[in-house]
């Protein structure tokens, strides 16, 4: 691989990371703007936030980095995992699994 190829690949990786960060931050900001609390963060709410952050390009749903989204949401709602465990509903891991499954079904 030439230096030119490496620069192109690096440029694509940087662009993808910027989109991931933008989607993650937009989804988290949406949840904050809605006035939600930690225990409100169900899989359906996560999916609604991702729909809000939607960008019209062909690989949007396939390229979402759920780890980045979870990190951004955790920064805004640091106790959401604990809130899910005490609620008696699905655990945080089950919510993340459900969101991941929905993303898989979209593409």
Domain that holds residue 30: 3-106
DSSP 78: T
Q: What is the pLDDT of residues 30-68, one digit of tens each?
A: 999 999 999 999 999 999 999 999 988 888 888 889 999
**What is residue 54's predicted lDDT score, i.e. its pLDDT?**
92
Q: Tell me what the pLDDT averaged over the chain comes to.
A: 84
| Number of domains, the chain | 1
Angle at 83 between CA 74 and CA 70, to 5 degrees: 20
**What SS3 state is found at 28?**
helix
How high is the pLDDT of residue 14?
Answer: 52
């Amino acid at each position: 691989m030439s230096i030119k190829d490496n620069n192109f690949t690096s440029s694509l990786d940087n662009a993808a990371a910027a989109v991931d960060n933008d989607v993650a931050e937009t989804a988290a900001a949406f949840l904050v703007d809605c006035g939600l609390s930690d225990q409100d963060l169900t899989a359906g709410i996560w999916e609604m936030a991702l729909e809000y952050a939607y960008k019209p390009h062909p690989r949007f749903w396939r390229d979402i980095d759920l780890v980045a989204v979870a990190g951004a949401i955790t920064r805004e709602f640091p106790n959401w995992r604990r809130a899910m465990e005490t609620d008696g509903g699905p655990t945080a891991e089950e919510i993340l699994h459900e969101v991941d499954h929905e993303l898989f079904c979209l593409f």
